[in-house]
Homo-oligomer: A and B are copies of this chain.
Protein backbone atom coordinates (compact mmCIF):
# COMPACT_ATOMS: atom_id res chain seq x y z
CA UNK A 1 0.00 0.00 0.00
CA UNK A 2 2.56 2.50 1.11
CA UNK A 3 4.85 1.48 -1.72
CA UNK A 4 2.12 2.13 -4.25
CA UNK A 5 1.60 5.53 -2.75
CA UNK A 6 5.25 6.35 -3.20
CA UNK A 7 5.45 5.21 -6.81
CA UNK A 8 2.21 6.99 -7.41
CA UNK A 9 3.61 10.22 -6.14
CA UNK A 10 6.97 10.26 -7.85
CA UNK A 11 6.25 9.30 -11.43
CA UNK A 12 9.95 9.60 -12.18
CA UNK A 13 10.56 6.22 -10.63
CA UNK A 14 7.62 4.47 -12.21
CA UNK A 15 8.63 1.38 -14.17
CA UNK A 16 8.33 2.89 -17.63
CA UNK A 17 10.36 2.59 -20.75
CA UNK A 18 13.34 4.85 -20.26
CA UNK A 19 13.26 7.90 -22.48
CA UNK A 20 16.31 9.71 -23.67
CA UNK A 21 15.75 12.52 -21.19
CA UNK A 22 15.06 10.13 -18.33
CA UNK A 23 18.37 8.47 -19.13
CA UNK A 24 20.14 11.77 -18.88
CA UNK A 25 18.30 12.74 -15.74
CA UNK A 26 20.02 9.89 -13.94
CA UNK A 27 23.43 11.33 -14.70
CA UNK A 28 24.99 13.86 -12.35
CA UNK A 29 25.14 17.48 -13.42
CA UNK A 30 28.56 18.72 -14.48
CA UNK A 31 29.44 22.39 -14.39
CA UNK A 32 31.67 24.29 -16.75
CA UNK A 33 32.98 27.84 -16.46
CA UNK A 34 32.87 30.21 -19.46
CA UNK A 35 35.68 29.63 -21.92
CA UNK A 36 36.17 25.98 -21.03
CA UNK A 37 35.56 23.25 -23.59
CA UNK A 38 33.23 20.27 -23.32
CA UNK A 39 35.32 18.52 -25.96
CA UNK A 40 37.68 19.37 -28.81
CA UNK A 41 37.45 18.74 -32.50
CA UNK A 42 39.23 15.46 -33.16
CA UNK A 43 38.75 14.06 -29.66
CA UNK A 44 37.59 10.49 -29.55
CA UNK A 45 33.80 10.70 -29.32
CA UNK A 46 33.08 8.77 -26.12
CA UNK A 47 30.12 10.68 -24.72
CA UNK A 48 26.87 12.32 -25.60
CA UNK A 49 25.93 15.43 -23.62
CA UNK A 50 22.67 17.10 -22.80
CA UNK A 51 22.78 20.80 -22.06
CA UNK A 52 20.79 21.68 -18.95
CA UNK A 53 21.71 25.30 -18.49
CA UNK A 54 23.72 28.00 -20.24
CA UNK A 55 24.93 28.65 -23.76
CA UNK A 56 27.83 27.19 -25.72
CA UNK A 57 29.50 27.79 -29.05
CA UNK A 58 30.22 25.04 -31.55
CA UNK A 59 33.15 25.82 -33.82
CA UNK A 60 35.97 24.67 -36.03
CA UNK A 61 39.35 26.26 -36.58
CA UNK A 62 40.51 26.37 -40.19
CA UNK A 63 44.07 25.93 -41.33
CA UNK A 64 44.59 29.65 -41.74
CA UNK A 65 43.59 30.24 -38.13
CA UNK A 66 40.11 31.49 -38.89
CA UNK A 67 37.37 30.29 -36.62
CA UNK A 68 34.01 29.24 -38.03
CA UNK A 69 31.16 29.04 -35.56
CA UNK A 70 28.78 26.30 -36.65
CA UNK A 71 26.13 27.14 -34.12
CA UNK A 72 25.11 28.01 -30.60
CA UNK A 73 23.75 25.42 -28.23
CA UNK A 74 21.15 25.91 -25.54
CA UNK A 75 19.34 23.94 -22.82
CA UNK A 76 17.62 20.90 -24.23
CA UNK A 77 20.10 20.48 -27.07
CA UNK A 78 22.27 17.41 -27.38
CA UNK A 79 25.99 17.43 -28.13
CA UNK A 80 28.11 14.79 -29.83
CA UNK A 81 25.26 12.97 -31.50
CA UNK A 82 27.00 11.16 -34.33
CA UNK A 83 28.32 7.77 -35.17
CA UNK A 84 31.69 9.19 -36.10
CA UNK A 85 34.59 8.01 -34.03
CA UNK A 86 35.77 11.55 -33.38
CA UNK A 87 34.04 14.80 -32.62
CA UNK A 88 33.81 17.00 -35.68
CA UNK A 89 33.98 20.28 -33.80
CA UNK A 90 34.92 21.96 -30.55
CA UNK A 91 32.27 22.98 -28.04
CA UNK A 92 33.02 25.73 -25.54
CA UNK A 93 30.97 27.27 -22.76
CA UNK A 94 30.00 30.91 -23.29
CA UNK A 95 28.15 31.30 -19.99
CA UNK A 96 28.43 29.08 -16.92
CA UNK A 97 27.06 25.78 -18.15
CA UNK A 98 25.40 22.76 -16.63
CA UNK A 99 25.26 19.53 -18.56
CA UNK A 100 24.85 15.80 -18.18
CA UNK A 101 27.17 13.23 -19.68
CA UNK A 102 26.11 9.87 -21.08
CA UNK A 103 28.83 7.43 -22.15
CA UNK A 104 28.22 6.35 -25.69
CA UNK A 105 28.75 2.64 -25.08
CA UNK A 106 26.30 2.90 -22.22
CA UNK A 107 23.70 4.37 -24.51
CA UNK A 108 24.41 1.81 -27.19
CA UNK A 109 24.12 -1.24 -24.96
CA UNK A 110 20.89 0.13 -23.54
CA UNK A 111 19.44 0.95 -26.95
CA UNK A 112 20.04 -2.65 -28.03
CA UNK A 113 17.23 -3.65 -25.71
CA UNK A 114 15.23 -0.45 -26.15
CA UNK A 115 15.09 0.38 -29.85
CA UNK A 116 12.87 3.39 -29.25
CA UNK A 117 15.88 5.11 -27.68
CA UNK A 118 17.61 5.04 -31.03
CA UNK A 119 14.41 6.36 -32.49
CA UNK A 120 14.53 9.36 -30.19
CA UNK A 121 18.15 10.05 -30.98
CA UNK A 122 17.38 9.76 -34.65
CA UNK A 123 14.59 12.25 -34.28
CA UNK A 124 16.93 14.65 -32.51
CA UNK A 125 19.43 14.31 -35.31
CA UNK A 126 16.72 15.09 -37.86
CA UNK A 127 15.90 18.25 -35.96
CA UNK A 128 19.56 19.17 -35.93
CA UNK A 129 19.75 18.51 -39.65
CA UNK A 130 16.79 20.77 -40.30
CA UNK A 131 18.37 23.45 -38.12
CA UNK A 132 21.63 23.15 -40.05
CA UNK A 133 19.77 23.70 -43.30
CA UNK A 134 17.95 26.67 -41.85
CA UNK A 135 21.32 28.08 -41.01
CA UNK A 136 22.57 27.57 -44.51
CA UNK A 137 19.62 29.62 -45.67
CA UNK A 138 20.51 32.26 -43.12
CA UNK A 139 24.07 32.31 -44.40
CA UNK A 140 22.99 32.69 -47.97
CA UNK A 141 21.36 36.02 -47.17
CA UNK A 142 23.33 38.68 -48.85
CA UNK A 143 23.32 41.87 -46.81
CA UNK A 144 24.59 42.20 -43.28
CA UNK A 145 21.20 43.56 -42.27
CA UNK A 146 19.35 40.47 -43.47
CA UNK A 147 21.84 38.16 -41.80
CA UNK A 148 21.72 39.91 -38.48
CA UNK A 149 17.93 40.19 -38.52
CA UNK A 150 17.76 36.47 -39.22
CA UNK A 151 20.21 35.78 -36.44
CA UNK A 152 18.21 37.78 -33.91
CA UNK A 153 15.04 35.91 -34.86
CA UNK A 154 16.93 32.66 -34.45
CA UNK A 155 17.97 33.72 -30.97
CA UNK A 156 14.36 34.67 -30.22
CA UNK A 157 13.39 31.06 -30.96
CA UNK A 158 9.68 30.43 -30.98
CA UNK A 159 8.84 33.61 -29.12
CA UNK A 160 8.23 35.46 -32.35
CA UNK A 161 4.56 35.76 -31.44
CA UNK A 162 5.29 38.57 -29.01
CA UNK A 163 5.49 41.90 -30.75
CA UNK A 164 8.27 42.95 -28.41
CA UNK A 165 10.70 40.93 -26.39
CA UNK A 166 14.08 40.91 -24.75
CA UNK A 167 16.71 38.42 -25.85
CA UNK A 168 20.01 37.46 -24.29
CA UNK A 169 23.09 37.57 -26.44
CA UNK A 170 25.71 36.11 -24.11
CA UNK A 171 28.13 35.61 -26.98
CA UNK A 172 30.59 38.32 -28.02
CA UNK A 173 30.38 40.30 -31.24
CA UNK A 174 33.25 38.22 -32.51
CA UNK A 175 31.19 35.08 -31.96
CA UNK A 176 28.33 36.57 -33.93
CA UNK A 177 30.71 37.68 -36.67
CA UNK A 178 32.32 34.24 -36.94
CA UNK A 179 28.87 32.72 -37.05
CA UNK A 180 27.49 34.97 -39.77
CA UNK A 181 30.70 35.15 -41.75
CA UNK A 182 31.31 38.86 -41.35
CA UNK A 183 33.62 41.10 -39.32
CA UNK A 184 32.99 42.45 -35.83
CA UNK A 185 32.95 45.94 -37.27
CA UNK A 186 30.10 45.12 -39.62
CA UNK A 187 28.18 43.39 -36.84
CA UNK A 188 28.60 46.41 -34.63
CA UNK A 189 27.66 48.87 -37.36
CA UNK A 190 24.59 46.86 -38.30
CA UNK A 191 23.40 46.69 -34.71
CA UNK A 192 23.85 50.45 -34.46
CA UNK A 193 21.91 50.88 -37.67
CA UNK A 194 19.00 48.69 -36.55
CA UNK A 195 18.92 50.57 -33.25
CA UNK A 196 18.72 53.80 -35.20
CA UNK A 197 15.66 52.55 -37.09
CA UNK A 198 13.97 51.66 -33.83
CA UNK A 199 13.75 47.99 -34.83
CA UNK A 200 15.87 46.94 -31.88
CA UNK A 201 17.34 48.60 -28.81
CA UNK A 202 20.54 47.71 -27.01
CA UNK A 203 19.59 47.31 -23.40
CA UNK A 204 22.91 46.06 -22.15
CA UNK A 205 26.05 44.89 -23.83
CA UNK A 206 24.78 41.35 -23.91
CA UNK A 207 21.05 41.88 -24.25
CA UNK A 208 18.95 43.33 -27.02
CA UNK A 209 15.31 44.33 -27.08
CA UNK A 210 13.36 43.52 -30.20
CA UNK A 211 11.13 46.56 -30.53
CA UNK A 212 9.38 45.92 -33.81
CA UNK A 213 9.08 42.24 -34.59
CA UNK A 214 7.27 42.71 -37.89
CA UNK A 215 9.95 45.02 -39.23
CA UNK A 216 12.61 42.58 -38.09
CA UNK A 217 10.93 39.69 -39.88
CA UNK A 218 10.58 41.81 -42.99
CA UNK A 219 14.28 42.70 -42.82
CA UNK A 220 15.18 39.04 -42.49
CA UNK A 221 13.51 38.44 -45.83
CA UNK A 222 10.05 37.63 -44.53
CA UNK A 223 11.06 34.06 -43.95
CA UNK A 224 10.78 32.64 -40.47
CA UNK A 225 13.92 30.69 -39.78
CA UNK A 226 12.22 28.45 -37.29
CA UNK A 227 11.41 25.35 -39.29
CA UNK A 228 8.41 24.57 -37.10
CA UNK A 229 6.70 27.52 -38.75
CA UNK A 230 7.60 26.44 -42.23
CA UNK A 231 5.62 23.25 -41.77
CA UNK A 232 2.41 25.12 -42.52
CA UNK A 233 3.91 26.49 -45.69
CA UNK A 234 1.88 26.25 -48.85
CA UNK A 235 3.57 24.98 -51.96
CA UNK A 236 3.80 27.97 -54.19
CA UNK A 237 5.67 26.18 -56.91
CA UNK A 238 3.86 22.89 -57.08
CA UNK A 239 2.30 23.92 -60.37
CA UNK A 240 5.33 25.66 -61.89
Cβ–Cβ contact A136 & B137, under 8 A? no
Residues of B within 8 A of A125 (CB): 122, 125-126, 129
When distances are taken between beta carbons in the complex, the residues of chain B under 8 Å from A84 are: 126, 130, 231
A181 contacts partner chain B, Cβ-Cβ < 8 Å:
yes
**Chain B residues closer than 8 Å to A164, beta-carbon distance:** none
- A132 nearest CB neighbor, chain B only: B132
- Complex Cα gap A237–B60 (Å): 10
Given contacts A140-B181, A181-B142, A237-B40, contact A231 B133 (CB under 8 A): no
- Cα distance A69–B178 when bound, in Å? 22
The answer for the CA separation of A212 and B2 in the assembled complex, in Å, is 78
Give bound CA distance, A137 to B59, whole Å: 10
Is A14 part of the contact surface with B, judged by Cβ < 8 Å?
Answer: no
Which of these binds chain B: A15-23, A99-107, A196-204, A221-229?
A221-229
Whether A3 is near chain B, meaning CB under 8 Å from some CB there, is no
CB-CB contacts below 8 Å: A208-240 with B: 221-223, 227, 230-231, 233-238
Chain B residues with Cβ under 8 A from A141's Cβ?
Answer: 181
Does B88 lie within 8 Å of A227, measured CB to CB? yes
Indicate whether A68 reaches chain B with its CB closer than 8 angstroms.
yes
**B40, A235: Cβ atoms under 8 Å?**
yes
Are A130 and B82 neighbours in the complex by a CB distance under 8 Å? yes
Q: Which residues of B contact A142 (CB under 8 A)?
A: 181
The residues of B that contact A85 with a CB separation of less than 8 Å are 231
| Bound: A141/B181 CA distance, A | 7
Q: Which of A67-96 contact B (CB under 8 A)?
A: 68, 70, 82-86, 88-90
